[in-house]
Structure 1
């Protein structure tokens, strides 16, 4: 092994898939790309990292709700584009050809083109670490969608797409909580 720059060590441990997080500020919908996500405790509780530098953050923190939309590999260019412009001056739904759909639990829209959507309520904001903890309220999956591979950001402008799914459920069955 050879040394690598410590400030690049984060590229070795990528979190959950890149997601799109939608918000509604009471007047308009917005969407932001989030590359750090985490599932908490085998439950519909999630954490994302964002803060006041993102235009959507104010709507997220004031409305206390959002939608986590999970794009598949075929939306990579939209995901990158959404993450490189601001909703302060861009209608991202129109610019990137996304279809907003009304959910049942929150005012923030679902995204029709995504593989899945999870309506969420904010349950905690850990300002010191810019972590927003979300409770899932409803989930939707487009099980007819052909492209199902999700994206993972390496952190240096490159991405990894999910590959082969390996089934070890039987081996792990005795170790997983009930219902998983």
Structure 2
């Protein structure tokens, strides 16, 4: 073992997957790339980390809703490019040829081409850490999506995509929540 810089800590424990979060301000759709996400319970709550540095943050806090979309690995370059421009001066849906689809429980759109989309309502905001706590109100899967690999940020400008899967359901059956 060799000691390395403290700044590399997050490259080993970066939460996953990278997501696209859509919002609607009443006039215009917007989308932001978020690499810090995680589930926090079995009651469909999740957390993403964002703040005033993201243009969509104001809309997210004002409307209290969004859609968390899980892009496939084949969308990586687009996902990164979406995160490199601001919705304050760019119509990201036009620039990146994104196809919005109607949601049912929120005004923000689903994104065609993603593996899945989770319609969400904001339930809490922990300002100190930029934690936005969301309650998933509806989930849709894209049955036409061929690439089911999710993208994971390493925190240093590099990414990985899901690879081999291992099925341990039988070993874990007594701990799995109903419905999974």
When normalised by structure 2's length, the TM-score is 0.97
Partner of 1:79: 79
Instruction: List aligned pairs for 1:99-138, cutoff 5 A.
Output: 99-138=99-138
Distance 2:29 2:8 in 1: 34
2:173 match: secondary structure: helix
Instruction: List aligned pairs for 1:36-51, cutoff 5 A.
Output: 36-51=36-51
Distance 2:43 2:149 in 1: 22
Equivalenced residues, count:
180
List alignment gaps of at least 5 residues for structure 2.
none
Partner of 1:12: 12
CA apart distance, 1:176: 2.4
Distance 1:177 1:23 in 2: 30
Please identify runs of 4+ aligned residues in structure 1 that moved more than 2 A: 175-180
List alignment gaps of at least 5 residues for structure 1.
none
Query: CA offsets per residue over residues 94-138 of structure 1, 9 Å max, x none?
Result: 111110111011110100111110100000000011000000011
When normalised by structure 1's length, the TM-score is 0.97
8 Å contact from structure 2 (residues 113, 145) kept in 1: no
2:166 match: secondary structure: coil
Aligned-residue CA RMSD (Å) = 0.9
Distance 1:122 1:30 in 2: 17
Query: CA offsets per residue over residues 6-52 of structure 1, 9 Å max, x none?
Result: 12211011212000000011110000000000011123111000000
Instruction: List aligned pairs for 1:134-173, cutoff 5 A.
Output: 134-173=134-173
